[in-house]
Amino acid sequence: MSRYVQRLHDRQTRFGNGICVGIDPRMEQLPPGIVAAARARGGSPLEQAAAAFEEFSLRILDVVADLVPVVKPQAAFFEELGPAGMLALARVNRAARAKGLVVICDAKRGDIGTTAEAYARGYLAGADPEAAPWAADALTVNPYLGRDTLEPFLKVAKERGAGLYVLVRTSNPQSGTFQDPVTDGRTIYERVADLVEEWSAGLAGDDGYGLVGAVVGATYPQELVALRARMPHVPILVPGYGAQGGTARDVAAAFDARGVGAVVNSSRGIIFAHSRPEFRERFGPDRWEDAVRLAVEEMRADLASARA
């Protein structure tokens, strides 16, 4: 039984939803009060932005920790800010773990041999948050470099009770450039899916899932249905719900009959809910956390209605 899958499914069952809140902070969309407080603290522009990202993310965690099973901080936005941003990312991941949240760090790393292992050891804390400085439960991984890019991540994930999400079919409009070409009757993304399924089938515990997950975008709903069937032992992370166009009906196919086996990510639609036209007047900039809470509740109801 994979410790990662057990932890994930325990929380999904407890909260009755498979929502993953994407932590994708952007300066121009933060609540004005957060930005003003960070500016008042001084430091370089990058340090101010990092302070704002950290404060905003920590307050998001406060709102969602008792509502959803999973958060997914996006490394790129923190990394853009340099060392100050990466320090903020480490703190946010640790704070999320301390609140009991499952942390999928969305860093899409990929390299070979001992280099891949360095990424794995840096990110995949698994059971013990102190085991890795970036303190994540799971990491998104890019498969382009091949089987020997994935094996070192798998080795560390097994040792530490952590999880992986391999990019199979991403949600962007031109994801097909190198994922769609047909080879031996299979597309490239189906080849990735088959390798991921092979690994997770071999590692699956009592509940039927292994620790090697897959990223499959909600924006290609028929492919999501086909990939769910093709990878029965694979936990799926579904981006593309909401702002990118995926509906609750589209993502319902990713879950099994027990309502687990998948998590559905929403980033902007939740964390920047205060900017959504229907919420803007109702809450105003000072009650942005109430907008976040309501957005989570609406998403939860939306997902539940599609599964009913």
| CA proximity to 69, closest of 137, 135, 157, 139 | 137
User: What is the Cα Rg of the chain in Å?
Assistant: 19
Confirm or reject binding of residue 182 to a second copy (CB under 8 A): yes
Per-residue x/- track, 57-76, a second copy (CB under 8 A): -----------------x-x
Determine the 3-state secondary structure of 54 from DSSP.
Answer: helix
Determine the 3-state secondary structure of 157 from DSSP.
Answer: helix
Distance CA 195, CA 19 (A): 26
Residue from 24, 197, 250, 302 binding a second copy (CB under 8 A): 24
Q: Residues binding a second copy: what is the number (CB under 8 A)?
A: 58
Confirm or reject binding of residue 43 to a second copy (CB under 8 A): no
Give the range of 56-64, 173-181, 204-212, 288-296 binding a second copy by CB under 8 A.
173-181
Confirm or reject binding of residue 146 to a second copy (CB under 8 A): yes
* Shortest distance (Å) from residue 94 CB to a second copy: 10
Residues designated as active site: 108
Residue from 12, 17, 170, 265 binding a second copy (CB under 8 A): 170
Residue from 167, 216, 234, 303 binding a second copy (CB under 8 A): 167
Determine the 3-state secondary structure of 108 from DSSP.
Answer: strand
Confirm or reject binding of residue 223 to a second copy (CB under 8 A): no
Confirm or reject binding of residue 90 to a second copy (CB under 8 A): yes
Distance CA 110, CA 139 (A): 11
The torsion region of residue 239 among left (phi > 0), alpha (psi -120 to 50) and beta comes to beta
Determine the 3-state secondary structure of 214 from DSSP.
Answer: strand
Distance CA 200, CA 267 (A): 27
Distance CA 129, CA 85 (A): 19
Confirm or reject binding of residue 153 to a second copy (CB under 8 A): no
Residue with tokens 């964390």: 271
* Shortest distance (Å) from residue 110 CB to a second copy: 6
Residue from 15, 59, 82, 159 binding a second copy (CB under 8 A): 82
Distance CA 251, CA 229 (A): 14
The residues binding a second copy (CB under 8 A) are 24, 26, 46, 74, 76-77, 79-83, 85-87, 90, 108-116, 118-119, 121-122, 132-134, 142-149, 167, 170-179, 181-184, 188, 191-192, 195
